Amino acid sequence: MKMFVSERRNKIMQLLNEKKRVTVKELSSHIGVSEATLRADLNKMETDGLLTRTHGGATLKEESDNETSFTAREKKNKEQKTVIADRAFELIEEKQCILLDASSTALELARYLKTQPMRLTVVTSGVLTALELKENPDLTVIMIGGVVTNRSSSIEGTLGLDILDHVNIDMMFTSGNGFSVDKGLTDFNLYEVELKKQLVKRSNKLVAIVDSSKIGTTSSAVFATPNEIDMLVTDKPLDDQSSKQLSENQIDVLAPSLTSQK
């Protein structure tokens, strides 16, 4: 069976996570595609900052520099994510049912919610997010079932989606590896993308919580198109061109204004 490009690259990352170092020959025998195709994959993945190319293969980037490691992503741009969480909270109202994905930015929002005396139902695909939220007795936490991702804290697959037939999601807060006005929200992991697509479809309103370093970048697969996104919450003012494009796509923006910046 032919693999999608993103599925093939996801497999490469899984093998790299296990072995730390792979050769093109090894990958070819594991994945069943030509060495030329895999060399092109590895070159693109190095450009995306996912691995380091070596003669005849690739090595896993250091943990602290590996975008696919949840621990690394959580530490990256921590201050910006705190600003975003603070702003995103302004959108939430008492007694709503909200959905938080497994992103590190949504986890930051969960940490903020944990301290608030507000009655909410929170549905999440993030293991760490659920653990944070259970500390607040005012919050009803619903965990989406599925396979727990290796080296991450998210649920993969669509096994547990039936639970969403019994709740009405007022608002979904989600992030990704990239956000652009042309593509929308994108991510690398094909299996997470498939789940996120389904979550987006089941939510009445979609809020992209994206730190400014990801705006204007794209990753392998789209999980929310621009016309599915209602609002963007970010940590820095947008330039006039981006603001105009988002407005044309009817995406509201919650970000600091240029005049509020020193």
> 202, 177, 158: which is closest to 10 by C-alpha?
177
Which domains are seen in the chain, by residue range? 5-61 (1.10.10.10), 77-260 (3.40.50.1360)
- pLDDT value at position 189? 78
Q: What is the mean pLDDT of each run of 10 residues along the chain (262 residues)?
A: 75 84 92 92 84 89 48 65 94 97 94 95 94 94 83 75 91 95 88 90 97 89 95 93 92 76 43
- pLDDT tens digits, one per residue of 121-150: 999 999 999 999 999 999 999 999 887 866
Q: What SS3 class is residue 20?
A: coil
Predicted TM-score of the model (pTM): 0.73
Please report, as a single letter, which amino acid is at residue 205: K
Residue 54 has phi, psi (to 5 degrees) of -125, 170
Q: How many residues does the chain have?
A: 262
User: What CA–CA distance (Å, rounded) separates 203 from 172?
Assistant: 6
- pLDDT value at position 191? 76
Residue 172 tokens read as: 């979904």
The dihedral sign for the CA sequence 153, 109, 124, 137: positive
Contact present, 180 and 204 (Cβ < 8 Å): no
- pLDDT tens digits, one per residue of 192-233: 888 999 999 999 999 999 999 899 988 888 999 999 999 999
- pLDDT value at position 67? 46
Burial of 198 (0-12, 13-18, 19+ CB in 10 A): middle
User: What CA–CA distance (Å, rounded) separates 83 from 88?
Assistant: 9
